[in-house]
Amino acid sequence: MILLTGGAGYIGSHVVRAAEAAGHSCVVVDNLSTGLVKRISCPIVELELASPDSVSLLARLMREHKFDSVIHLAARKQVGESVQKPEEYFLENLGGLGNLLLAMREVGLKSLVFSSSAATYGMPDVDFVGEDFNCKPINPYGETKLIGEWLGRAAGKAWGLRAVNLRYFNVAGAGWDDLADTAVANLIPIAFAALKAGETPKVFGDDYATADGSCVRDYVHVLDLADAHLAALDYLERDDRNFDTFNVGTGTGSSVFEVLAEIRTATGIDFEPEVLPRRAGDPPYLCADVSRIKNELGWSASPDLASIVSSAWKAVASAN
Ligand code: WQD
């Protein structure tokens, strides 16, 4: 039995469905700020993790359901918004995690998969970044994810929590047509929204020292990401591990122009992107070194930009 916070979200609902398909029973806790109840069929409790009364409510839920583990996905995750509203990000992302850990400690629930982020790395000076890189997040969103990892480590030392941090790279795609990414906050959904509005997708900078001048990222299918959470749960079953951190990516980079070319193919809409000046805080190249997750969890994801973009477009198109 798994407790999933944020399980009504775009990523969370994929993790719920993958877990159920693997035979797990799930209960979701979500504040429904961006989550959609219709995405999942398991029991769901509407709850704001950061609220003061959530510790007692979570502890009661945990005693009622005898969970084996928790997958913690609930968080605010928009980089730009985190710069504008840092207080809300620290309160919600870290306050929510803190309350969750207090409840887990109270009932003796000691298995956690934590949704972390490549944003913990900041602007690394390497193209393929490994988990031992000296993380220097450059925005409050990335800072809350790094501090969240530290919190899990400290709880492990204090009372035996076993935690696995999954640092998501650029997640996109859809495993089911009804699970489109409805938060238009990343390149692929932003480009789709522009095209649906009859506008032109924008490229933030084409003068980077990359093959085609646009930024390169590691795009991972949300279905592969969901599967990585199940691999992390299995890993936590091992008695020789208490705390670890894994990149979740493909180990292969795609440029913005390459993504937009796939979008032309998937949508059948021809367009010339509008090139704008660089966006502050964008590393030219940010891809995952995925050797650790492959070696330790036996998990890997094949780079498949075409499937990511076409599945995302199919879900967006079917949402009308
Ligand atoms: C990707 C590239 C933009 C929009 C994400 C988030 C978060 C994290 C992974 C989990 C950049 C360019 C974008 C547009 C563009 N994962 N772009 N035109 O910045 O890699 O950050 O990293 O936590 O999802 O932090 O993702 O999708 O915003 O941008 O040219 O209209 O696309 O400059 O190079 P990013 P993104």
Per-residue pLDDT, 231: 98
119 alpha carbon – ligand 1 mean position (Å)? 10
Residue nearest to atom 25 of ligand 1 (CA): 119
Per-residue pLDDT, 57: 98
Per-residue pLDDT, 12: 98
99 alpha carbon – ligand 1 mean position (Å)? 29
* Alpha-carbon gap, residue 223 to 215, rounded angstroms: 24
217 alpha carbon – ligand 1 mean position (Å)? 8
183 alpha carbon – ligand 1 mean position (Å)? 13
Residue nearest to atom 24 of ligand 1 (CA): 170
Percent of the chain with pLDDT over 70: 100
Residue nearest to atom 14 of ligand 1 (CA): 187
pLDDT at 175 over 80: yes
> Band of the pLDDT at 32, cuts 50, 70, 90?
very high
**Mean pLDDT of the region 130-152:** 97
Of the candidates 168, 165, 299, which has an alpha carbon nearest to the alpha carbon of residue 245?
Answer: 165
Q: Of all atoms in ligand 1, which is nearest to the CA of residue 190?
A: 31
Percent of the chain with pLDDT over 90: 96
Provide the residue type at 152 as one letter. Answer: G
Strands 69-72 and 2-5: parallel
* Alpha-carbon gap, residue 156 to 110, rounded angstroms: 9
pLDDT at 239 over 90: no
The answer to whether 170 and 248 have CB atoms below 8 angstroms apart is no
Residue nearest to atom 17 of ligand 1 (CA): 187
Q: Note the pLDDT tens digit of each residue in 56-93.
A: 999 999 999 999 999 999 999 999 999 999 999 999 99
Per-residue pLDDT, 124: 94
**Mean pLDDT of the region 153-179:** 98
List 255's β-bridge partners, or say none. 216
- Is 87 exposed, middle or buried (CB count within 10 Å of its CB: 0-12, 13-18, 19+)? exposed
Q: List Cβ neighbours of 231 (8 Å cut-off, separation of 6 or more).
A: 293, 297, 298, 299
pLDDT at 320 over 90: no
Per-residue pLDDT, 241: 82
- Longest pairwise C-alpha distance within the chain: 57
Catalytic residues: 141
Cα atoms in the 13 Å half-sphere on the side-chain side of 291: 6
Q: Of all atoms in ligand 1, which is nearest to the CA of residue 276?
A: 30
> Band of the pLDDT at 196, cuts 50, 70, 90?
very high
> Residues near ligand 1 with C-beta < 6 Å?
77, 79, 117-119, 168-170, 186-187, 190, 202-204, 215, 217, 256, 279, 282
Q: From residue 133, how far is each of 39, 153, 182, 280 by CA, in Å?
A: 36, 17, 32, 22
216 alpha carbon – ligand 1 mean position (Å)? 10
For ligand 1, pick from 212, 229, 256 the residue to mutate: most ligand atoms within 8 Å of CB: 256
* Alpha-carbon gap, residue 93 to 308, rounded angstroms: 28
Q: Average pLDDT of the chain?
A: 97
Angle separating helix axes 305-318 and 187-196, nearest 10 degrees = 50
Instruction: Determine which helix (DSSP H) or strand (DSSP E) holds 97, and give its type and residue range.
Output: helix 95-107
- Neighbour tally for 124: CB within 10 Å: 18
pLDDT at 244 over 80: yes
